[in-house]
Structure 1
Amino acid sequence: MEENNSIPDGWHLKQVVEFASKIQSGGTPKSDNLEYYNGEIPFVAIDDLSKSNKYISKTQKKITNKGLLNSSAWLVPKYSLLYSIYATLGVPRINLIEVATNQAILNIIPKKKIISLEFLYYLLLEKRNTILSHSAHTTQSNLNAKVVKELEFVFPKSTIEQNKIAEILSKIDEAISETKIIITKYNRIKTGLIQDLLTKGIDDKGNIRSEETHEFKDSPLGRIPKEWDCLELRKCIELHNNKRKPISALVRAKMIGEFPYYGATGIIDNINIYNVEGEFVLFGEDGDHFLKWKNQEQTILVNGKFNVSNHAHIVKGNHICSTKWLHYFYFHRDITFHLTRQGAGRFKLNKESLSSLPILVPRDINEQIKIIDKIEYLNNFINLYKIQNEKLQANKTGLMKDLLSGKKRVTHLIN
């Protein structure tokens, strides 16, 4: 797999079988025997690899010792390399606990004097696409023990150099992990905050209202501040459906232009058929499309010029309700409860059902603006971390390619 003529000084070419003391897949106890499951032995499946990052420290299932003895599963010592060979191919993980695995996972115990575990993890991760490409050109679509044993890699002879490379990449992984934790934390905060902002609002002092400190009233959508109204959407919008244009799939495929086109499947770039200028919210009309979009992502706030088919309603706020308020209110609200099924059990968001949707609206447009500002501030804050995460991911990809090929050496960093 590797080119022999590209071996850096101090590196060598070896097959996996040469640097592994044991390479063996696992097995699965019969699923219909209850005595084999819910035991004390962590049992790793492909799902566990997919849902983890670098390390495996817990599993979704556990098996009993009896299940272990009556299957091809075996106890894989901690600090081994678990490598997926079926389904999601070529995913490496390090187990921090003793585990058993199913047959879709090849367990590799490396020879510590030849290759370090952490380095092997990054090596297999970086070479994954190459390995999958190599596998795709063979008669065996999946990987197997024989294929993996014969894989060959160029890597440093010195485990000290290997460890330094792994250390550098681990630090980037730690930074990525910390960034993801922050994003997850603030997304969770955002979910709760938006729910409060869009149902309780903020008073003239900038505080979220509560029934303990403010006056509320009943509405079809629950308790709301006395300064708010629950209205039918028709009272709050301008509907611009006359600007829609039906386009066949055949015609759409041949169109090229500068404006995005909104059809039954969402936004498509580079289509020039009909454009509308301004800020609008689009509601997907077709039942199949409508149900595919979860968490109200069928509402898309569009700024500037765009094109739209007859599968989307074009909505703009009026003097009662800002366009952005429409967007944020419905983006975070399930409206299927207010719709009826038509045809073969499908929902249809037609003009009348759209116009009849209930919406909560602060009477003071300035309160709407303040709430939107708070939501967008939090969105921008989260997006900054998302951008940082993307940059870290890109840096990691580049560093892995350079460090694991010997293009960039780390010998000067070794004492």
Structure 2
Amino acid sequence: MGETKFITAEIGVLPEGWKLIDIKSIADRNQEHSFIDGDWIEAKYIENNGIRLIQTGNIGIGHFIEKETKKYISEKTFHELNCKEVKPGDILICRLAAPIGRACIAPDLGTKAITAVDVVILKVNQNEYSREYINYYLNFEKTLQRMESFASGSTRQRISRTNLGNVLIAIPPLTEQRKIAAILSSVDEAIAKTEAIIEQTEKVKKGLMQQLLTKGIGHTKFKKTEIGEIPDSWNLVKLADVFEIVKRPVEMRDEEEYQLVTVKRRYGGVVPRERLKGKQIKVKSQFYLKHGDFLISKRQIVHGACEVVPKELEGSIVSNEYHTLLVKNGIDIDFIRWYVRLPMMQNYFLLSSVGVHIEKMLFKIEDWFKRIIALPPLEEQKQIANTLSSIEQSILKNQKYLEQLQTIKKALMQVLLTGKVRVKVDNEVMSQ
């Protein structure tokens, strides 16, 4: 890293040797449609296949979400309307939606594509500018904020192509642009690989859940039951034989502090809410929780709002809007934690709830307790739970790593795209 000298500029201070360029001046004037809006395509021209129509919703920050491209036009329409074709390497910039100005580099889609009117096509003059650097700078938080400040509209905020073209960005020498882009790209590659690992591991977990929770481990003999085929050594039991309701009433004291918790939808876990003094808690009917309790939200269980209370939240409290359950002897709570995620159990939660609207249904635990599940021997319960938990821990580890990478990228963008940290540009560094 080299010593940095700064000069005053319209958008702040810039390193010596950097310059301010408006977006429209980055366009390659030797190419047709180098900085232009996409096409206005009426609904009557939309078809199910043909030439892709890229809309604002298809564009994520830095990358193109190809799988969400669902609208097309015909070759005939393309020529009749004199549409502008997107080429690989074009930068596509959104003029509306959140955030305004988000951009991506178009990949090779293997077919023709055009953009809707609210997606600007920018063809970068690569003799002077690195399109990868430009793309990173367009998606830089400060750039997006400036673009939003230029937006207008009574119902939907959008930035005009003229105002977009006048937005200034800071440009270092070309070799430095390329080096900055290379550094950020390396982090993006690590992010993409980690995301792919998480996605694949999630698929493995889903497949194993269905296999282990219904067929068990290493079984060759099965029997038919009212809930389907299960291993011969498994038993059918009612949920009333698995759980018992427990209540630990809180004697509320005005000056004592209490940790309130809730349970998130989609099996998202028991999480802390606010911490309040007794006199601040309006609902006085509260109950203590212990580590290992199974907590169910009476009004959100149709959305998968149930989970085991973690050790760090022992002693927290919930209102009578929740059911607190304990598993009986011979039942492994970790196995049950996974078992409730089966589609059959999700259906049980729905069938045992009453109400006229999915968001206003109330869980009837007495009905739920009558439902039948398949239960393996205790030792197999533990083996199944341990296998699935190890996969979950792998996912959580990679998710934490992903968050670290995203934090690193944000920090790097902050220092590299402002020149607060300068990069050396030589053959040795570039090869690294």
- Name the TM-score, length of structure 2 as normaliser: 0.81
CA contact (8 A) 1:119 1:163 kept: yes
Show the counterpart of 1:18.
Answer: 25
CA contact (8 A) 1:15 1:152 kept: yes
Distance in 1, matches of 2:189 and 2:213, equals 36
Percent identity of equivalent pairs: 23
Structure 1 residue 271 corresponds to structure 2 residue 284: no
Show the counterpart of 1:351.
Answer: 365
Distance in 1, matches of 2:12 and 2:365, equals 68
Distance in 2, matches of 1:136 and 1:184, equals 36
Question: After the TM superposition, which residues 62-211 of structure 1 pair with which residues of structure 2 at under 5 Å, given as runs?
Answer: 62-71=72-81, 73-88=83-98, 89-97=100-108, 99-127=113-141, 130-132=143-145, 135-136=148-149, 139-140=152-153, 141-156=157-172, 158-202=173-217, 208-209=218-219
**Structure 1's 3 and 281: CA in aligned 2 closer, same or farther, altered over 3 A?**
farther
**Structure 1's 17 and 409: CA in aligned 2 closer, same or farther, altered over 3 A?**
same
Distance in 1, matches of 2:414 and 2:322, equals 45
Distance in 2, matches of 1:326 and 1:69, equals 60
CA contact (8 A) 2:263 2:296 kept: no
**Structure 1's 311 and 3: CA in aligned 2 closer, same or farther, altered over 3 A?**
same
Tell me by how many angstroms 1:133 deviates: 5.6
For the aligned residue pairs, the C-alpha RMSD in angstroms reads 2.9
Q: Which runs of 5+ in 1 are unaligned?
A: 203-207, 248-253
Distance in 2, matches of 1:178 and 1:32, equals 40
Matched to 1:143, the amino acid is I
Residue by residue, what CA displacement relative to the aligned partner does 1:359-403 show, whole Å, maximum 9, x if unpaired?
A: 2211x3122111111111111112111111111111111111111
Show the counterpart of 1:222.
Answer: 228
Partner residue of 2:307 out of 284, 288, 300: 300
Q: Which runs of 5+ in 2 are unaligned?
A: 1-8, 29-33, 279-285
Question: SS of 1:111's equivalent?
Answer: coil
Show the counterpart of 1:323.
Answer: 333
Question: SS of 2:228's equivalent?
Answer: coil
Distance in 2, matches of 1:264 and 1:76, equals 43
Distance in 2, matches of 1:365 and 1:388, equals 34
Residue by residue, what CA displacement relative to the aligned partner does 1:65-117 show, whole Å, maximum 9, x if unpaired?
A: 33224447411332110011122322211112452100121111122233211
Show the counterpart of 1:411.
Answer: 424
Matched to 1:63, the amino acid is I
Residue by residue, what CA displacement relative to the aligned partner does 1:14-63 show, whole Å, maximum 9, x if unpaired?
A: 11122224321112322224xx634542221123214x852466743332
Question: SS of 1:321's equivalent?
Answer: coil
Which of structure 1's runs of 4+ aligned residues deviate more than 6 A?
263-266
Distance in 2, matches of 1:255 and 1:197, equals 49
**Structure 1's 75 and 165: CA in aligned 2 closer, same or farther, altered over 3 A?**
same
- Name the TM-score, length of structure 1 as normaliser: 0.84
CA contact (8 A) 1:84 1:106 kept: yes
Distance in 2, matches of 1:392 and 1:143, equals 31
